[in-house]
Chain A
């Protein structure tokens, strides 16, 4: 169990069976009164924000979170299938559990899956992934300097703005934290 004095940003705790992360906290102690710690908590599954005040002496339950290295296998009928690369067990996650990560899930991609009480709740992607452009307006051959972007659709279905010179069939590097084009992949 955590003590109130353990509270700090990014501490992960469990309330009513749900995992929360501390996004902000403040020590308060009114004159002639007990000490309190006011916290702002974010539900790690729903993203809902909750304000909660803890009295000194209260206990907080740590969120039993584990991170497992997994490889993305395939998507079928709205389910995303992964294999744990340590014990080869397979798990499936639905659209809501995968969230925005679906834009970057290409076959055999290695990711870390955050598991709470045996339930996968989030995917930590590598910072950069290589995606193939499947659809975009043709570019001008040789034009690698002029500015300007155009939309492109990737092999995962993701829409990414790419420079004019990128063509269908090109493989590009995308930053998963910002969703932005970085460069053309080295061949």
Chain B
């Protein structure tokens, strides 16, 4: 059957404008736009992110994170990338298994500074897009910053960092905490419990927490940023722990990225912070669409 793009014609130009606005924002701040592979050997080890295999010993990238940090290890200071990422079996109102991702990294800053930068990024693109979308700005400073423990204490009556329970955490997050906060147009949820640190640094003054945040716009999770973990020993332990967890779930454990670990081991990764944002979701929120398939010309349901 002939499959044509079903989105409204303006959406193509909104996407074009958005990509322009993103590039302008980083060009003005002297970031370098970089390119890393989509076909990778080590897709990253997250217990809940499954890569799409692409032939023997290769996968489609689930995010450009590890390669971008290797570029920081080569001496680059401020980098960004707009690329595609692929995650198996993620399809829904806010998910498409292939999606556009924006990642940026800056050396010498931590997650607090990154939150400020992220806030001005959102405001800048929102204001630019207003002109094309013929409406007022949606997001205004300051974006409230709510710590995970405070949000859970207030709405779910427990403190995740001190009484960790992963299953309870995610159920309460989606059933109680996110719905309670969904009317705040833009906010940061920050200081996640240490078990959810992934590649983030733990807080030196409270190792039960990690220096990680999530940006929500219109109740939709948009971006995940953190102060990067640079300690090779700790990173190896976390990778091994996550591989064991994957194995316990009967999932492929994925190989360790030895080049990334070597970068850490040689002390080449400086203190830095980085963030990944979903471009389709940003476009969805800016155009006030309710389904990601409304902003993609060819989502997986219409290939």
- By a CB distance below 8 angstroms, the chain A residues around B121 are none
Please state if A30 and B91 are interface contacts (CB–CB under 8 Å).
no
Which secondary structure characterizes the binding site on chain B? mixed
Please state if B175 and A27 are interface contacts (CB–CB under 8 Å).
no
Please state if A34 and B48 are interface contacts (CB–CB under 8 Å).
yes
B104 to chain A, nearest CB (A): 17
Contact with A along B178-206 (1 / 0, CB 8 A): 10000000000000100010100000000
Please state if B91 and A27 are interface contacts (CB–CB under 8 Å).
yes
For the complex, give the distance between the alpha carbons of A98 and B182 in Å.
Answer: 42
Contact with B along A15-42 (1 / 0, CB 8 A): 0000000000011111111111010000
A10 at the interface (CB under 8 A from B): no
For the complex, give the distance between the alpha carbons of A26 and B90 in Å.
Answer: 12
- By a CB distance below 8 angstroms, the chain A residues around B40 are none
For the complex, give the distance between the alpha carbons of A103 and B110 in Å.
Answer: 70
Please state if A53 and B46 are interface contacts (CB–CB under 8 Å).
no
Please state if A30 and B170 are interface contacts (CB–CB under 8 Å).
yes
Q: Which of A26, A31, A33 has a CB less than 8 Å from the CB of B92?
A: A26
Please state if A30 and B221 are interface contacts (CB–CB under 8 Å).
yes
Give B contacts to A, CB under 8 Å. Answer: 46, 48, 89-95, 167, 169-171, 173-175, 178, 192, 196, 198, 214, 221, 224
Give A contacts to B, CB under 8 Å. Answer: 5, 26-36, 38, 53, 55
* Interface contacts beyond A27-B90, A28-B92: sample of 15 additional A-B pairs, CB < 8 Å, sorted by A: A5-B89, A26-B93, A27-B93, A27-B94, A29-B92, A30-B173, A30-B221, A33-B170, A33-B173, A35-B89, A36-B170, A36-B171, A53-B171, A53-B174, A55-B167
